[in-house]
Amino acid sequence: MADIVILGGAGLMGSGVVRDLVSDLAIVDIDRIRICDVSNPAMEKLTDELKDSRLETHRLDASDKTQLAAAVEGFDLCINAVPTMAGFQMQIFEAAFDAHSAYVDLGGLGVYTVKQKAEHERFLSAGVTAVISTGSDPGMSNVTCRAVADELDRIDRINLYWAAELVGPENPVLVPPYSISTVLAEYAHPSTQFLDGRHTECAPMTGVEVLDLPEPWGRTEFMYSPHSEQLTVPLADGIREKGIQEFTWKLHLPHREHEAWVGLVKAGFGDLDASVEINGNKVRALDVLGAVINRNIEQNTDRMPEQEGHEIHFAIGHGTREGRPARVKCQVIVRPDPMYDDYVDAGTSMNVSISAQLMLKNGPRPGVWAPEEFFDVSEYFEELRRRRFVTDTTIEYLD
């Protein structure tokens, strides 16, 4: 039986992780789940809805190191679902280390990925296991890249993509697909890509590429954005040795929403720490934007049409297989399903839960690992299929 603590557990992603942990899809026996969050009402709403006796709530201010240490102490595994851009990533990472608790997080932008990976030897020596960036992208996407890499004897390049599309009447209300700060960072910040055998900084919204995808995506435009996959995948054991010279990650959000985020960056909201003075009061521009967007959603709920969200995650690898030029594509498609109705982002939440539970199932492996280094592809993909994700790998010889 395992005891799990989840920080940010009543938030958009964290609440979904909790849902999967208490569902009939559970991989391991769980004795206790402590939900930590700054919002008591949000925690109460979640526990009242789920009505699972294993759930307990714990109000937490993640900026308080004493509170943080007390919240994590005594748990087998700590899930960090606090948004990366909140600035507590390393503090929570260290609290799990001090508590000798296995650790997972959602990662995403690569802001702290290098810092966390640099602590591998310290975690290894202390016997503490950490797997970083375990959501959908990054997370599932990393495992997808491993699936591609394992089919090639030599790797020239792997290119990774994620595209979301909404089907239905246009929504007159802007609804962020995940944390506002994360979306804006993806659009406004430079990204690091792996080009010509080395990491290279690329300007925001560059690397534009158009691909023809199945419906409902159709002809789809992608762009570079900051993420963590390109910081770990080309350096991973079993991939680096195969000679990889290029690894990129590209994003596509639904077209009209894409235009909105571009406009907000043009308006200056891409500077996440910028403050403005209004009537003598100094406020953070990002906080104002978040409050306006949330208020707009609340006031216009009745105007928001039913829309179906579709996601496609795929990696394309080029190299050789059995001495022949080859192209390998591995994709995961997530289509609307009643199973996902209560989730804000089932893909991200379910993948965090899968990662955490596979860690507990298979036992400790001390060190700091990226998903492509830690998980067995076949075991991981079986859990995706149990959650009605569609997986497919194709191999094409090019000679």
CB 248 within 8 A of CB 230: yes
| pLDDT at residue 108 in the model | 59
pLDDT at 109 over 80: no
Q: Give tens-digit pLDDT for 114-142.
A: 999 999 999 999 999 999 999 999 999 99
Closest by alpha carbon to 3, among 48, 63, 58, 84? Answer: 58
Residues 6 or more apart whose Cβ sits within 8 Å of residue 319: 152, 153, 154, 155, 156, 157, 242, 243, 325, 326
pLDDT at 338 over 70: yes
CA 86 – CA 94 distance, rounded (Å): 16
pLDDT at 247 over 80: yes
| pLDDT at residue 86 in the model | 82
Q: Give tens-digit pLDDT for 281-309.
A: 999 999 999 999 999 999 999 999 999 99
Closest by alpha carbon to 334, among 194, 143, 163? Answer: 163
Q: What is the mean pLDDT of residues 24-51?
A: 97
pLDDT at 111 over 80: no
| pLDDT at residue 79 in the model | 98
Confidence band for 107, pLDDT divided at 50, 70 and 90 = confident
Q: What is the mean pLDDT of residues 249-268?
A: 96
pLDDT more than 90, % of the chain: 93
- Give the three-class secondary structure for 229: helix
CB 228 within 8 A of CB 113: yes
Closest by alpha carbon to 373, among 184, 164, 124, 132? Answer: 132
Domains and CATH numbers, the chain: 2-135+345-376 (3.40.50.720), 140-344+385-397 (3.30.360.10)
- For 274, other C-beta atoms within 10 Å of its C-beta total 11
| pLDDT at residue 126 in the model | 98
pTM of the model as a whole: 0.94
| pLDDT at residue 262 in the model | 97
Q: Give tens-digit pLDDT for 139-197.
A: 999 999 999 999 999 999 999 999 999 999 999 999 998 889 889 999 999 999 999 99
| pLDDT at residue 87 in the model | 85
